[in-house]
Structure 1
């Protein structure tokens, strides 16, 4: 090893290796060391040994206090180098992120990417859901084939087992699908939560309030099948999350049981109408008659009239009686 190749202070640990220690002991014993003695260059570079200009081949050990200060200085230099490397990480990641955005593989922080194929949608949703740290919110209003359910199972189970909050909303009609019931049983066993809602809601996936996938529509308002928008805009993600939880509050928990395979038939005679069921779900979610009317485009008086009519039909005198009946009635599973 030449002088140019010798390690500088701070580039090696303070502890001496076995070879360096043996050379150090030889110097302490007063031996004359050849210039190529093993470990000598390192000892000189770290100023643990010094040349003796009056006696070629002899070396003088540094005093303990001087040696201590040199080792501290070396460690601090190494720490400063590490801090410098850490400071460069955001720039490196930012450069790589910019390249992904430039090639259409990643949405910009305030923009959206239109994923135009099922393959592209699947690739991005898999990447983001498996990387979730806090929360995955999924709203799936349509029928999901067995193949799709099986492919999506691990993306819900694995994060749930890691402690990520995983919540999914399905349409109430999904309770009649045995395969979907088995899927729900598997994810709820892992700690995920599933609810069903008997009304229309948009398809979406929101991850950690920082990634969101939602349906794409053309200029005429028609759904573009097999595509989705992907965004990392935090404001958009937060609005979608709020929309999700508005539906979640009105939805019914799905804890798979035998009766879930046979929900009540929409063709049967029921006490409630579709509008009344929507009103009841909103009441249970804590909304006032005025709020419910605003959401449904009805007057507060009309909402109150629906509630009063249903109470009378059931022979109840209070809203508390009505909500208790609703919580235990199979009609809550109707759309």
Structure 2
């Protein structure tokens, strides 16, 4: 019987998972359906076409050799899964903690730099590139004394970045600093965003959502704002010019007033949100934006946006987008109607 050692987190990375998903699972299903795989099968021999996925299954313990029949048989994956998943989860948690520790270690140096004459000599605008952005933000948030304002479009907030943001922002809130965050309505469908919102609102933060598209923005104590310098988010600008920061804060405040509380799940409000997203879809169609642009403006995937358009086609009994546009035009539908009111 082949011995299987307990894997470390470095053992099973993206490449081996790709092999597992693309080839090994199919071979496992084949073995399971056939009741076994002869050890003499040439496909699994060294150099054979199925050797790599077979070797991975054997290493994982998903295939066990039955010496009595000289056959490889399938094992219950539920007894194997924890040996792979648990170490990866533990390593992920360790890396997140280590990342936070490094951010705190750099925060003191960042504070010293920003208060030094050299920093002042850089002027009111500082360009940040790539990996320099997150440490800079961590240092700013660590220094926040009064209030943090953030505008976060749904796109781009993945699980690792939200996990780091949760630890960073809850620590800030526990120091007594206020936090207000804006998302697009589409963020309400994200489970990881719900987890983040639950963590920060439990400590006094306020979170709202809006149908409109907006760019990412962070403002610390109304003295420094960080905004993207390009669409790919790999370059950011730290703005210290008081008049520009005040202008950005004014935009945030006006947008905030139109937002809807994230925690409010009343059916009437959810209907209003659905109506706002429908209206924005209509405006995107009328204005002639491409699907990728429209999806980005709504903060959803192109597939979800296509679903919104399909719903409108069904609602207006249209087979093509041209027919949909014509029908909405003849009924006076513009996407600017009061929620709940459409052309008749």
Task: Report the TM-score range of the alignment, normalised by the length of the smaller protein.
Answer: 0.3 to 0.5
Q: What TM-score do the two structures reach when normalised by structure 2? A: 0.45
Higher relative contact order (CA 8 A, sep 6+): 1
Q: What TM-score do the two structures reach when normalised by structure 1? A: 0.47
Q: Give the structure with higher Rg (CA).
A: 1
